[in-house]
């Protein structure tokens, strides 16, 4: 391996992509192409980075499977950072197996981490957890170890396990200090702020207050009957009644819970569940049918009794009823939540993450863009969507550098 390749790799490891390009920018051999690709990715030019890495992988060919596998891992990381979530996961798994077979445990561990992070982004928490368990963090560089701990913290936060989340972020911070990468430390600080930022509202007995993740965890572990408007379900402790596919029943349960300890008038229930401004006998008949269905669904947790002008919800085995709602409710709240990470997303990646059709997501994106809440970059298939950048919050690129190739 020549001295320029070694120097360029060291420059990338130190977070100096321009220094790396100064050494290999005019070279076209596979090793130089790979390092140029990683440098362009760190500078934010993902399209050129992908093209350079593909050329490098073709240049290495079947005779150098380990170097080719490293290029595939780098491509996967760029796809992840650019939110190209439809990138073939099988190719990453195949590259990981090649690296393990040839003894490159550091890059193999990094490939497994990337797969776990992909699963976390699309909400597959069980798969992300399984992939992390199969990863030995001892083989990771300090930068990759910090990223590994951030994925562990993300899983814990999604599962509302705030204690493990704090522990993982502390470990990530220690690894980031060793790595000496300011952007990585800023990313960890941003993630830590989420633990100290209100994530939901609790509505009970006509009063509303904001809750931190730790308080949400305590509420869900209590004996209160919780109408969870974040996940569209009703629960008490570990007993859960999902209503995500029954929007009318959930709307009725939330209206009844917000009126507790009093009852909800029929007019209010009709407006919340059916959007009926002027109720007629058919509306009232449908309300009775849906209340009957809801009563059957919630039988283990609560009872619904008729009153003179409406219905009242009475909990079983619980002393209070709490509605857990998002901190701010918007028509396209879930979409904005994904775009809030500061990265640029394609419409197909958002559709995959949300479990919705691409046409539905595109309509929502157009509506948000018209309202000035998001912005588009690029055209056609290269178009990406993102929240307007906030001053003081750097966009994050967590690309760890593979060992020098040759």
| Contact call for residues 199 and 216 (beta carbons, < 8 A) | yes
Cα–Cα distance, 22 to 235 (Å, whole number): 59
- Measured in whole angstroms, the distance separating CA 237 from the mean position of its chain's CA atoms is 25
**In the CATH scheme, what architecture does the domain 3-141 have?**
Alpha Horseshoe (1.25)
* pLDDT given for residue 97 in this prediction: 92
DSSP state at residue 323: E
> Which CATH code fits 200-325?
1.10.10.10
* pLDDT given for residue 397 in this prediction: 24
* pLDDT given for residue 107 in this prediction: 86
Domain segments of the chain: what residues? 3-141, 142-197, 200-325, 335-386
**Tokens standing for residue 318:** 């619980």
State yes or no: pLDDT of 206 exceeds 90.
no
> Which CATH code fits 335-386?
1.10.10.10
Mean pLDDT of 17-21: 89
CB neighbours of 100 closer than 8 A, spacing ≥ 6? 108
Fold agreement (3-141, 335-386): no
pTM summary value: 0.72
Put the strands of the sheet holding 200-204 in their side by side order: 207-211, 200-204, 321-325, 225-228, 233-236, 239-242
Pairing of strands 310-315, 264-265: antiparallel
In the block, which residue shows the tokens 């079983």?
316
pLDDT above 70 covers what percent of the chain?
A: 92
Q: State pLDDT tens for residues 151-183.
A: 899 889 888 899 999 999 999 999 999 888 887
* pLDDT given for residue 342 in this prediction: 59
**Residues forming a β-bridge with 225:** 321
State yes or no: pLDDT of 399 exceeds 70.
no
Q: State pLDDT tens for residues 267-294.
A: 889 888 888 677 678 888 899 999 999 9
Q: What is the mean pLDDT of the chain?
A: 84
Q: State pLDDT tens for residues 96-151.
A: 999 989 888 888 888 888 888 888 877 788 888 888 887 778 778 888 888 889 98
Rg of the chain's alpha carbons, rounded to an integer? Answer: 25
């Amino acid at each position: 391996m020549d001295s320029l390749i070694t120097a360029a790799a060291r420059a990338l490891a130190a977070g100096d992509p321009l220094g790396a390009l100064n050494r290999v920018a005019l070279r076209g051999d596979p090793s130089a192409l790979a390092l140029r690709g990683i440098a362009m990715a760190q500078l934010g030019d993902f399209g050129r980075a992908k093209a350079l890495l593909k050329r490098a992988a073709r240049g290495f060919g079947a005779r150098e499977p380990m170097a080719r596998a490293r290029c595939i891992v780098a491509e996967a990381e760029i796809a992840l950072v650019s939110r190209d979530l439809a990138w073939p996961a099988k190719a990453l798994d195949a590259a990981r197996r090649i690296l393990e077979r040839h003894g490159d445990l550091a890059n193999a561990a990094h490939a497994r981490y990337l797969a776990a992070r992909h699963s976390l982004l699309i909400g597959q928490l069980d798969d992300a957890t399984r992939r992390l368990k199969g990863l030995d963090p001892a083989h990771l560089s300090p930068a990759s170890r910090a990223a590994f701990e951030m994925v562990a913290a993300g899983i814990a936060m999604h599962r509302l396990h705030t204690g493990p989340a704090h522990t993982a972020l502390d470990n990530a911070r220690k690894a980031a200090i060793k790595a000496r990468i300011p952007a990585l430390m800023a990313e960890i600080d941003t993630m830590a702020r989420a633990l100290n930022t209100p994530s939901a509202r609790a509505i009970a007995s006509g009063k509303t207050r904001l809750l931190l993740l730790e308080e949400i965890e305590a509420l869900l572990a209590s004996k209160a009957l919780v109408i969870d408007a974040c996940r569209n379900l009703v629960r008490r402790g570990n007993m859960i009644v999902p209503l995500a596919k029954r929007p009318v029943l959930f709307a009725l349960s939330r209206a009844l819970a917000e009126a507790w300890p009093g009852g909800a008038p029929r007019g209010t229930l009709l407006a919340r569940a059916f959007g009926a401004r002027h109720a007629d006998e058919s509306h009232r008949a449908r309300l009775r049918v849906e209340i009957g269905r809801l009563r059957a669904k919630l039988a283990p947790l609560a009872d619904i009794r008729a009153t003179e002008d409406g219905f009242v919800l009475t909990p079983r085995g619980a002393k209070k009823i709490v509605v857990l709602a998002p901190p701010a409710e918007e028509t396209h709240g879930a979409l904005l939540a994904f775009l809030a990470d500061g990265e640029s997303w394609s419409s197909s990646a958002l559709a995959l993450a949300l479990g919705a059709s691409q046409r539905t997501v595109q309509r929502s994106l157009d509506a948000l863009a018209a309202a000035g809440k998001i912005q588009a970059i690029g055209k056609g298939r290269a178009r990406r969507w993102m929240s307007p950048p906030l001053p003081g919050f750097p966009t994050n690129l967590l690309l760890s550098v593979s060992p020098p190739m040759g």
